[in-house]
Structure 1
Amino acid sequence: MSEAPVLYLVVCAAPPAQQIGELADLLMADGWRICVIATPIAASWLDCDALADRTGYPVRAHWRRPGDPEPHPPADGAAVVPATFNTLNKWAAGVSDTLALGILNELLCTGVPIHVFPRVKATLAAHPAYGPNLRRLRKAGVVVHDGDVLRAPDEMTSSRWAAVVDALRAARPGA
């Protein structure tokens, strides 16, 4: 029996990040092995030790030192949940100033399916750089989901995570 496929769950600093453990549990129950990679600020909002205990892999937010072993297996898929204005714009420009962005930039060129679930304020979504950058990511093969999937934190229920789980189920190898 082969092992479950690996999903890199990239977490940015937006309110839904505070419930990312719930999403990780749902995705693991749905057949994924989860490796959490967080932006530095998102990592400060998470109980990284508890997430590592849940998933079996350390939560990564910082670069490893040269010669250190890679703590995560290779990804079969990736999801950016929640994806922020800052991360999306930097990623589209090829910036790799955080581990999360460095991994996303590397994955973009591998053919690994990447799904993005934005959590961006309407005022920022209207910024003139945002739309063209989402189109650039889509052109590169990234699946960018409707920003309404991740609403305000008081609306984050398991049914909101269901849209994320369903989309990633369809992207899972062998699905």
Structure 2
Amino acid sequence: MADAGAGRPVVYLFGSGAGVVSGIGGAVRAGLGRGWDVAVGLTPVAREWLAAQVPEVEELTGHPVKSAYRRPGQPDVLPPADAVLFAPATFNSVNALALGLTSSWVAGYAAEAVGRGVPVLLMPCVNTALAAHPQFPRSLAALREAGVQVLFGEGAFVPNEPGAAAPYPWDVALDAVDRALEARRRGEGRAR
């Protein structure tokens, strides 16, 4: 396993069951290249889809890929996060986090991180039909009001038509994390 920690900022990279989650390995490599200690969390669906990639991601990060709550009395296996990036966040994950529905570990951790003042960044991955659902803009507004940096719209993630594919803007999300970490380092970000 990689040498985890060593004074580097700890970034939790969370992904849910959107097809672009298959690119999370590249995002992990990019984060490590930026000097981060990356820990990956996946929804159960995303973990199932990426089962073949999980050992490689764990080797790269030096941390287990987490997708379930720990049992009472079990130690925490990940270092505390300095920032959380939830990308891709599906329609279900966006709404669950906004409504405080924490049936998945990633939604639960992200909800707690907001409450602890850890910077949380979220980049959805939805099509135009789901983005048009009346709950979706309400959820984005609730997340923004809670202090989550939502990377949605021009200059971030722009929804595609149903069935259409386009590259997911991982670099936009990673650059936003860099800015959040720098703001936190300077004392401008949210404190724990």
TM-score after normalising by structure 2: 0.83
Residues 47 and 67, structure 2, Cα contact 8 Å, conserved in 1? yes
Secondary structure, aligned partner of 1:86: helix
> Aligned partners of 2:49, 2:69: CA distance in 1, in Å?
19
C-alpha spacing 1:28/1:151, structure 2 compared with 1 (3 Å): farther
Q: What SS is found at the alignment partner of 1:115?
A: strand
Query: What's the counterpart of residue 45 of structure 2?
Result: 41
Secondary structure at 1:41 match in 2? helix
1:164 matched residue in structure 2 = 173
Is 1:139 aligned to residue 116 of structure 2?
no
TM-score by length of 1: 0.91
- Give the 4+ runs in structure 1 shifted more than 6 A: 150-153
Provide the secondary structure at the position in 2 that maps to 1:35: strand
Give 1:154 shift: 5.7
**Which residue matches 1:50?**
56
Is 2:111 the counterpart of 1:105?
yes
Report deviation, 1:119. Answer: 0.4
Which residue is equivalent to 1:127? 133
Change (3 A) 1:89 1:17: same
* 1:150 and 1:156 in contact (8 A); partners too: no
1:81-116 deviations in Å (ceiling 9; x for gaps): 101100111111111111111111111101111111
* RMSD over aligned Cα atoms: 1.8
Aligned to 1:23: 27
2:157 aligned partner: 149
Which structure would you say has the larger RCO, counting Cα contacts within 8 Å and 6 or more residues apart?
1
Q: 5+ residue gaps in structure 2?
A: 1-5, 187-192
Displacement, 1:156? 2.9
Distance 1:6 1:14 in 2: 24
User: Structure 2: how far apart are the matches of 1:13 and 1:41?
Assistant: 5
Whole-angstrom distance in 2 between the partners of 1:151 and 1:20: 19
Identity, % of aligned positions: 35
Query: Matched residue of 1:165: which SS?
Result: helix
Measure the CA separation in 2 of the matches of 1:13 and 1:37. 12
Which whole-Å CA distance do the structure 2 matches of 1:23 and 1:151 have between them? Answer: 20
Alignment partner, residue 74 of structure 1: 80
